[in-house]
Structure 1
Amino acid sequence: MGLALMSQLAWHDYRADARLSACAVLALVAVLAPLLVLFGLKFGLISSLTERLERDPAVREIVPLGGARFSAEVIAELAARADVAFAVPRTRQIAATAELSIAESSTAESSAGERGVTVEMIPTAAGDPLVPPQLLPLPANSVLLSQRAAEKLGVKVGDSLSAAFGRQVNGRPEYQRTELKVQGILPLSAFARDALFAPLQLLEAAEDYRDGLAVPTFGWRGNSQAREQARVYPSFRLYAEDLEAVEVLRRYFAARNLEVATQADAIAQVRSLSRNLSVVFWIIAGLALGGAFAAMTASALAAVERKRRALSVLRLLGFSSTALVAFVVWQALYTGIFGLLLAWGLYGAAEVGLNRLFQQTPGEYACRLLLSHYLLALLATLLCSGLAAASGGWRAAQIEASEGLRDV
């Protein structure tokens, strides 16, 4: 009951010294508001950079270098790893090209029928991070085009294409054609070159045909003898599950003497920037909070000296040392709460202005704080205020009741 009553007495006394209380609040706001803005910028920028990296599949791509050879079983084992989001074999690059033109049955304009574009063929399958999930898996004889290739051919989704594959047999050129349906068109953000995304079966058929073999699936003539050995692939398309997995996979391949190209350096730079900004923030925050703590401690001691007679009268009335300490602490907590509320308001205005000024992509933030950050700021402010007032409270606890009678 004494502590509850003391909180009310502390509040009334706090209101009575409104000017001094307001000065204490503004002094605290001068420290808290810049710290909140600084941390909001640090968190918002790093979060936006990290989210941008996570949204870009190219950052998570692992590209093998050199003349490696992979069996279908090895690539299947890679695809089954928990840190791999997608993996599919790639055929030889020289065999993975096609001459595309408008098929006669296409609904595209006839003037576009004479256009022809050489594109690289890229294998795709369910789970491909470059392709919207609703477009996969592809139906038979259906492909996806990059936006550049579609623009050069003048086709749209649903049109038909004629794909030509050439080879040399005894110095004589031969060609086979197959009709493909455009199932979808990938935007420039997904793939910027002239390309055709197709099931692995089409790429293997083109490779077999160019190796002189017959391809019964498409009715292409050639040597009817099957491959003497199991098919091997010179490369693969592989994407890590997340940013952390990129470095894990790089070390995995390095341990097997396989050189790969990754974006591990770009990811490491963002993480290094985050660590460096954290160090800078905590140095500034430590200095600012240290100064604020010293100022609040001095303010509490000064308040006790200024109200020494009133506190001694309270002691004379029977309030305990704990109650006197609570009196000083309560007033410090009032300062902390009002200072933090005002600092939150100023931060909110700064956040809106900074995001409007620096926002480049919808959904990204230059300055941002989460609810957990607000709660952490509240806890830290109240704790710092209470500890700063403890010295003044200890001084108040030393006041004797007799001191209140000397001035009577």
Structure 2
Amino acid sequence: MRPLLIASLAWQDYRSDARLSACSVLALVAVIAPLLVLFGLKFGLVGSLTERLQRDPGVREIIPLGGGRFDAAFIANLATREEVAFAIARTRQIAATAELRLPAQGRAVTVEMLPTADGDPLLQGAPVPTGLQQAVLSFTAAEKLGVKAGDSLLASFSRQQAGQLQWRQSELQVLAVLPLAAFERDGLFASLTLLEAAEDYRDGRAVPALDWAGEREANATQRVYPAFRLYARSLNDVEPLRQYFAERKWLVSTQAAQIAQVQSLSRNLDLVFWIIAALAVAGATAAIGAGAVAAVERKQRELAVLRLLGFGTGALLLFVVLQALYSGVFAAALGGLLYALAELGLNRMFTQVPGEYASHLLPLHYLVALLAVLSASTLAAALGGWRVARIDACEGIRDV
């Protein structure tokens, strides 16, 4: 019961000194609100940049440069690495093209063919093509052809043989059309087997699965690929993969420099924030401690009366600490409200992309801020209120 009695007495005294209590609260708000705005800007801006990079598969793509010679076993091993989210072989780029047309229309579009499979980040949940008669189109290619998911297309593959132009056609079902942001060129995503069939045909080899004749049969066991499509699992995995290929003297193109810039910005902002926060917290702690000392001096007679009534040093110290905690709670609430208003204004002024923020805090951040304010208030009040140990009960007798 005694702690509850002390809490009640501290609250009554806190209310009676409303002006001084309000000044204490406003002094803390002057520290808390700017820190919340600063951290909200840091977390919102860097978080939005990081999420934008993470959402863009192209940032995590590792592109081999120059002609390589990779077998299926090597690429399968790449796909099993912990840093890799998706890996698949690519045929020669000059052979990975097709001319698409609607059966009832004369217009045609030449598209780039890309191999795909389960886990392809560019498909973004679209159905995965399998076999030789299924494909997913990019937005620009579908727009030029005027097709949608479920339509059928004719894909033409041409080659020069003995000085003559030859070509073969294959019917493809469009499983889906990708959004423009996923792939901005004219592209066709199909299974690797279709790209291998197109390459074999253009190299003069037979493709029995499509009944395309050739001078010789393809040998799948001896097939090598000049490149691959590879995506890192996260932004932090891009640099390790770049180093992996650099150690083997394979040239690759990555967005590691862009990712490093964002990560460096985050580290620098962290440093600036913690320096400012440390200075502000030190000042607030000193102010709370000085306030506690002043409160003990100002209420020395009242505290002496409490000691006369049987309250010990610990109870008197709790009296001082509780009043500091009352100020901390009110200041944290008012600071959070002011930050919420500032966040709303900043996001309306500076945010242009839906789902991104110029300033943003999570509920966890508010909780951490509240605990930090209460901890600093408790420590500062305890250090500043140590003078209650010197208060003698006789002063309460004289006051009575």
> Shared fold by TM > 0.5?
yes
Provide the identity percentage.
Answer: 63
Residue type at the aligned position of 1:289: V
**Which residue in 2 is equivalent to 1:37?**
37
Unaligned runs of 5+ in 2: none
Per-residue CA deviations over 1:186-223 (Å, capped at 9, x if unaligned) read 22211111111111111111111111111111111211
Residue type at the aligned position of 1:129: P
User: How far apart in 2 are the matches of 1:234 and 1:192?
Assistant: 24
Mapped pair 1:240 → 2:209: no
**Which residue in 1 is equivalent to 2:163?**
171
Mapped pair 1:371 → 2:383: no
Shift of 1:50: 1.4
Shift of 1:229: 6.6
Mapped pair 1:47 → 2:39: no
Mapped pair 1:213 → 2:205: yes
User: How far apart in 2 are the matches of 1:126 and 1:406?
Assistant: 86
Alignment of 1:107-118 (within 5 A): 113-118=105-110
User: How far apart in 1 are the matches of 2:349 and 2:80?
Assistant: 45
Mapped pair 1:151 → 2:151: no
Shift of 1:368: 1.8
User: How far apart in 1 are the matches of 2:214 and 2:129?
Assistant: 29
Relative to structure 2, which stretch is displaced further, 378-387 or 165-174? Answer: 165-174
**Which residue in 1 is equivalent to 2:311?**
319
Mapped pair 1:191 → 2:183: yes
User: How far apart in 2 are the matches of 1:125 and 1:390?
Assistant: 64
Q: 2:294 aligns with which of 302, 322, 335?
A: 302
Shift of 1:155: 2.5
**Which residue in 2 is equivalent to 1:263?**
255
Shift of 1:139: 5.2
Q: 2:383 aligns with which of 391, 400, 403?
A: 391
Per-residue CA deviations over 1:356-405 (Å, capped at 9, x if unaligned) read 33332333222222222122111111111111112332111111122334
Distance 1:161 1:296, change over 3 A: same
Q: 1:285 aligns with which of 277, 281, 284?
A: 277
Work out whether residues 208 and 215 of structure 1, in 8 Å CA contact, stay in contact via their aligned partners in 2: yes
User: How far apart in 1 are the matches of 2:166 and 2:316?
Assistant: 100
Residue type at the aligned position of 1:97: T
Distance 1:315 1:92, change over 3 A: same
Per-residue CA deviations over 1:234-281 (Å, capped at 9, x if unaligned) read 000111112222122112212222121111112111111111111111
Work out whether residues 129 and 135 of structure 2, in 8 Å CA contact, stay in contact via their aligned partners in 1: no
User: How far apart in 2 are the matches of 1:224 and 1:384?
Assistant: 81
SS of residue paired to 1:74:
helix
Residue type at the aligned position of 1:16: S
Mapped pair 1:58 → 2:50: no
User: How far apart in 1 are the matches of 2:66 and 2:126?
Assistant: 34
User: How far apart in 2 are the matches of 1:319 and 1:402?
Assistant: 14
User: How far apart in 1 are the matches of 2:189 and 2:133?
Assistant: 11
Shift of 1:19: 0.9
**Which residue in 2 is equivalent to 1:110?**
none
- Give the TM-score of the pair, scaled to structure 1: 0.93
Residue type at the aligned position of 2:72: A
Relative to structure 2, which stretch is displaced further, 135-144 or 236-245? Answer: 135-144
Relative to structure 2, which stretch is displaced further, 263-272 or 361-370? Answer: 361-370
Unaligned runs of 5+ in 1: 105-112
Residue type at the aligned position of 2:95: A
Work out the number of aligned pairs and report it.
400
**Which residue in 1 is equivalent to 2:88?**
88
Distance 1:6 1:229, change over 3 A: closer
User: How far apart in 2 are the matches of 1:122 and 1:170?
Assistant: 28
What is the CA RMSD across the aligned residues, in angstroms?
Answer: 1.8
